[in-house]
Amino acid sequence: MIEIDRKVDLSGVASLGKAKVTVGYELAGQRVRLRLDGHLMHVVHDGVLAKTLPAPLEADQRTGLRGARVGTGELPAPAARAVRVERKVPTDGVIMVARQRLRVGRTYAGEIVIVHVEDTYFRITLNGADLALHPRKNQHPVTRFRAKIHSPKL
Given a cut of 70, whether residue 35 has pLDDT beyond it is yes
**Averaged confidence pLDDT in the chain:** 86
Given a cut of 80, whether residue 25 has pLDDT beyond it is no
Q: What is the pLDDT of residues 94-122, one digit of tens each?
A: 999 999 999 999 999 999 999 998 878 89
Q: Say how many domains are in the chain.
A: 2
Query: Per the confidence metrics, is the pTM higher than 0.75?
Result: no
Question: Do 54 and 111 sit in the same domain of this protein?
Answer: no
- Which of 14, 46, 70 terminates a domain? The answer is 70
Residue 55: which of 12, 7, 94, 1 has the closest Cα?
Answer: 1
Residue 78 covered by a domain: no
Residue range(s) defining the domain that contains residue 96: 83-135
> Which residues have a Cβ under 8 Å from the Cβ of 119 and sit 6 or more positions away?
136
- Residue/partner pairs of 119-128 with CB below 8 Å, 24 or more apart: 122/97, 123/82, 124/95
- With cut-offs at 50, 70 and 90, classify the pLDDT of residue 151: low
Is 149 in contact with 112 (CB distance < 8 Å)?
A: yes
Q: What is the mean pLDDT of residues 57-85?
A: 80
Please report, rounded to a whole number, the percentage of residues in the chain having pLDDT higher than 70: 94
Residue 58 covered by a domain: yes
- With cut-offs at 50, 70 and 90, classify the pLDDT of residue 67: confident
Question: Do 44 and 20 sit in the same domain of this protein?
Answer: yes
Given a cut of 80, whether residue 82 has pLDDT beyond it is no
Residue 76 covered by a domain: no
Question: Do 7 and 59 sit in the same domain of this protein?
Answer: yes
